[in-house]
Amino acid sequence: MKIALVSPYDFVFPGGVCHHIVNLEHYLTRMGHQVKVVAPASHTVTSFGDRFIPVGKPRPVPASGSIVRLTISPWIGSRIKAVLDEEMFDIIHLHEPLMPMICTTVLRLSASATVGTFHAVGGQPGYDFGWPLTTIWLKRWFRRLNGRIAVSQSAMEFAGRYFPAPYEIIPNGVDLERFSPEVAPLNEYRDGKLNILFVGRLEKRKGVNYLLDAYRQVKRQIPDSRLIIVGPGTMLRRQYERRVRRWHLPDVVFAGHVAYDDLPRYYQTADVFCSPATRSESFGIVLLEAMAMGKPIVASNLEGYAGVVAHGAEGLLVPPRNSSKLAQALITVMTDKSLQREMGARGRLKAQDYSWARVAQQVYNYYVQVLKGKVPELEAMSARG
């Protein structure tokens, strides 16, 4: 099968959607399919060889308190048409299919079967379906999808609120070969201190401000502790670093952006993984990566997170924006080695259900349904115009 995986986001810049596509491409190719990635890129992408097709130049666009890197030029139609005419894909799989301009242009021009995966929930960067004119305009392109996937129940409910239709829930996956307990830890952090790890972009909704406040409380009770913060971000990082200096808070490490190949070593270094996001998490790939490494979780009790981590089993879930509860949960896990081992073991076991080999097979099976015409179409919506 000849497959296109389409991303609206700069493929050079790290993010959940791009990592999802990287892994899906790898496993679909391993299954014997001919797969190409179509996306904008701010720099040359060499890791895919001729399997990567650059389209458009991404620009930083402020959105929902963050920055999304999209191609916003309305003049990319000729380039996309040339790619589609040359490649003649059997199926085109668009990720965030209603995100302009690449995805909506592909939907407008494609003669192939199309599938869209909806990753996001409300409030995530670039998503505001609340404007009536926006929704009306996007429904035009939504109706051109032959199949619709959501990565979680919350993602399905968010998309379905504005675009009612049948959705197939196929979760994000985790690379169990890469994220394995056999990975070597980072020696510089294996000095007897208990390590709390955060991984994510330094955006307000990721809740690092609450984590810093919680860590200040943790540090009083567990002096031999350390907080390692991994993820890109400049403006908020400077604010957080000023706060750490003002509080005279020791053992806080801002590691910045970490290469994907090095990320498992940070997870392996951790004694507990913490994700204190405040909103808009549809799934929680970082939770799954930590679980695959056998690490206990402390995270906000958000719907997307609760779909991955069961409170009291693989980790502890606490109310978002509550530093005291967050600190209590961290202390509970960090001071109980037996609990750490039990939660880590349960997490590792659950992560097997999300292996990319299994997820890629689910996606392929859905492609077959679409091509055979077995996925319900949007006849009622089309009739409403």
* Residue intervals in the chain for CATH 3.40.50.2000: 2-173+355-384, 187-354
354, two tokens:
């999300």
Give the DSSP per-residue string, 288-327.
HHHHHTT--EEEE--HHHHTT--BTTTEEEE-TT-HHHHH
* pLDDT for 281: 84
- In whole angstroms, give the CA distance from residue 283 to residue 239: 27
Residue 265 tokens, joined? 């070593």
Parallel, antiparallel, or unpaired: how do β-strands 34-39 and 113-118 relate? unpaired
Q: Is 374 exposed, middle or buried (0-12, 13-18, 19+ CB in 10 A)?
A: exposed
Give the H/E segment covering residue 157: helix 153-162
Could you read off the pLDDT tens digit of each residue along the chain, which spans 385 residues? 999 999 999 998 878 899 999 999 999 999 999 999 999 999 999 889 899 999 998 888 766 556 778 888 878 999 999 999 999 999 999 999 998 889 999 999 999 999 999 998 865 545 555 555 567 778 889 999 999 999 999 999 989 988 999 999 999 999 999 999 999 999 999 999 999 999 998 989 899 999 999 999 999 999 999 999 999 887 899 999 999 999 999 999 999 999 889 999 999 999 999 999 998 787 889 999 999 999 999 999 999 999 999 999 999 999 999 999 999 999 999 999 999 999 999 999 999 999 999 999 999 999 999 999 887 654 443 344 4
- Cα 219 to Cα 117: distance, rounded to the nearest angstrom: 42
Residues 114-135: tens digit of each pLDDT: 999 999 886 554 555 555 556 7
Q: Which fold has domain 187-354?
A: Rossmann fold (3.40.50)
| 11 vs 208: CA distance, rounded Å | 25
Q: Count CB-CB contacts under 10 A for residue 119.
A: 23
Number of H-type helices and E-type strands within the chain: 14, 15
How does pLDDT run across 83-120, given as a tens digit for each residue? 999 999 999 999 999 988 899 999 999 999 999 999 98
Residue pair 270/297 in contact (Cβ under 8 Å)? The answer is no
Does residue 244 sit in helix, strand or coil? helix
Q: Is the pTM above the cut of 0.85? A: yes
Domain boundaries 2-173+355-384, corresponding CATH code: 3.40.50.2000
**pLDDT at residue 232, as a whole number:** 87
Six token digits for residue 14: 């790290």
- Confidence at residue 358, expressed as pLDDT on a 0 to 100 scale: 97
pLDDT at 383: 42
